[in-house]
Amino acid sequence: MHKLGEDIWIHEDTHSMGGNELRLRMTIVKLTNGRLWIHSPTPFSDEPKDLADQIGQVQYLVAANNLHNLWLLDWYQRYPQATLVVSEGLPKKLTLPDGCVLMDDTFRNPWSEDLTHQLLFDVPFFNESVFLHNKSNSLIVTDIIQNYSDPLPDTMGARLIAHLFRLIGFKDLCIAPPMKFGFLRKDKTNFAEAIQVIDQWDFDKIIVTHGNIIDADANTVFYDLTKRFLAD
């Protein structure tokens, strides 16, 4: 685990997909009340657990879109006192405990002193929420922005799968390809308005869940990647 700034840490891991090692990143924020907010939990193991326990008590486990839930309940089993905060589509995929909080269009941000929240409206494939950690000026995303720099794997099968993903658009610094598909954005105006809100935030880094953190000209990078949606 690495401390990225004031009251914010990251833990990195990998997940095998078709012979490719997909890089994962979990973000931990220490809230003003001293409790922990964990975004996009990675595979549960003693290392991140022990480090989290050294920082504080886990209060929130956050699955900020419909695709990042593989290890959410593993973490919840170890921290049953925590509140699960999940994207709108997850209850259709998982059996979740009572008291789970949905980040839908009625969501009221309980961490507003520490984290600014914006739902990316009307993309039900993801139902992604984006966050700004105010103390460290960090934009925290799940899938909307990804930043790959890994070399191709050695085996033929894995290389073929990697090439297919790159052909779809999962390569280099990118918007998640499904986010680009107009038919997946049910209301392009609402989505564009959400992008405009985020574009006005002041951040100097983008903590992506997949790939390298973007720590140079982060505001400009975000604008350049997302301006296509403003013109739809």
Structural domains present in the chain: 2-230 (3.60.15.10)
| Distance, first Cα to last Cα, the chain | 40
64, 68, 71, 75 alpha-carbon torsion, rounded to 10°: 0
With contact defined as beta carbons under 8 Å apart, do 42 and 51 qualify? no
Mean pLDDT over each residue of the chain, to the nearest integer: 86
User: What pLDDT is stored for residue 150 in this prediction?
Assistant: 58
Q: What secondary structure letter does DSSP report for 150?
A: P
pTM, to two decimals: 0.88
User: What pLDDT is stored for residue 171 in this prediction?
Assistant: 56
Predicted confidence band at 228 (pLDDT cuts at 50, 70, 90)?
A: confident
Dihedral of alpha carbons 180, 65, 137, 216, sign? negative
> Mind listing the pLDDT tens digit for each residue in 68-103?
899 999 999 999 999 999 999 999 999 999 999 999
Cα distances from 152 to residues 18, 137, 160, 166, 171, in angstroms, run 12, 33, 9, 10, 11
73 Cβ contact list (under 8 Å, min separation 6): 94
* CA 220 and chain centroid, separation: 19
Average pLDDT over residues 21-47: 93
The CB density around residue 196, as the number of other CB atoms within 10 Å, is 13
With contact defined as beta carbons under 8 Å apart, do 8 and 133 qualify? yes
Looking at residue 178, its amino acid is P
User: What pLDDT is stored for residue 204 in this prediction?
Assistant: 96
> Mind listing the pLDDT tens digit for each residue in 151-205?
544 555 444 544 455 544 455 677 776 666 555 667 788 889 999 999 999 999 9
* Alpha-carbon gap, residue 181 to 106, rounded angstroms: 26
User: What pLDDT is stored for residue 125 in this prediction?
Assistant: 85
* Alpha-carbon gap, residue 89 to 91, rounded angstroms: 6
Predicted confidence band at 210 (pLDDT cuts at 50, 70, 90)?
A: confident
Predicted confidence band at 211 (pLDDT cuts at 50, 70, 90)?
A: confident
Q: What angle do CA 212, 139, 100 make, to 5 degrees?
A: 105
Token couple for 161: 């799968």
pLDDT > 90 in the chain, percent: 63
The CB density around residue 50, as the number of other CB atoms within 10 Å, is 10
* Exposed / middle / buried, residue 27 (Cβ in 10 Å: 0-12, 13-18, 19+): buried
pLDDT > 70 in the chain, percent: 81
Map tokens 């680009």 to a residue: 180
Looking at residue 197, its amino acid is V
